[in-house]
Amino acid sequence: MRADRSRQTEIMDDFDLQGPELKKTLDDLDRVNKWLGGNKITLDGIDRIFSSACFAQPVNILDVGCGNGSILKEVAQMGRRKGIAMQLKGIDANPHAVEIAKENCTEFPEITFETQNIFTETFANQRPDIILCTLTLHHFEDNEIKVLMQRFSDMCIMGIVVNDLQRSRLAYLLFQLFCAVFIRNEIAREDGLTSIQKAFRRGELKEFGRGLQVRKQKISWKWAFRYQWILWK
């Protein structure tokens, strides 16, 4: 495993990817994420922000890089269980993914989806209570991540939850074995391995968080080879 982050482009970064191929790939990646407990890391992060802040309802949560919308579906279910009214919005740069997400969440009127470029003023002018960034940050170059984290911290009211991968030789080898048994989708296999090479070490996340106007932040290692990075405003 290389010492620095890979700059290789993932197949899913092609916004022309669409149709059954895109839907199957999103479903497979979502299934892997659930099997390996990844969604729980994001939900736990939201809980931790709730427990340390006073807030008015409804809570406005923005999911950056929403994919097929599965994370927001689980957030909506959590809100219903806890009796917390929520207004949830998922954004993605791929309009075809946004359409899939809309179809996936028809039973959740509290969730909306939009195609947005997160480097535009339209995005920056939003004021969500919480920003979620699950398996999205690693798609960007280091200089872009610094810009995005500054933008996220300026925008949000309560905090940010980043859930992303650890760059590790062991993680790479174990994912190869996992794919050999459970994943037949070539795009999901290739992008999963590329994602690990584009993922983070703890020190890199600390550097991205340096100088942000937040009250506190915490980076925790989670199974399977994930980092949960919570920033409280």
Evaluate if residue 3 carries a pLDDT over 70: yes
Question: Within a domain: residue 5?
Answer: no
Query: Is residue 6 situated within a structural domain?
Result: no
If one counts the domains in the chain, the total is: 1
The answer to whether position 107 is within a domain reads: yes
pLDDT, greater one: 36 or 76: 76
Instruction: pLDDT band for 36, please (50, 70, 90 cuts).
Output: confident
Q: Is the pLDDT of residue 82 over 80?
A: yes
**Is 6's pLDDT higher than 90?**
yes
pTM attached to this predicted model: 0.94
In a domain, 95, yes or no: yes
Average confidence (pLDDT) over 32-56: 87
Structural domain including 156 reads 11-232
Q: Is residue 66 a part of any domain in this protein?
A: yes
Q: Which CATH number belongs to the domain containing residue 90 in this structure?
A: 3.40.50.150
Domain-located, residue 188: yes
Query: Is 2 inside any structural domain?
Result: no
Residue 173 confidence class, pLDDT cut points 50, 70, 90: very high
Residue-wise DSSP of the chain:
--SSPP-PPPGGG-TT--HHHHHHHHHHHHHHHHHTTHHHHHHHHHHHHHHT---PSSEEEEEES-TTSHHHHHHHHHHHHHT--EEEEEEES-HHHHHHHHHHTTT-TTEEEEE--TTSHHHHT---SEEEEES-GGGS-HHHHHHHHHHHHHH-SSEEEEEEEBP-HHHHHHHHHHHHHH---HHHHHHHHHHHHH-B-HHHHHHHHTT---SEEEEEEETTTEEEEEEE-
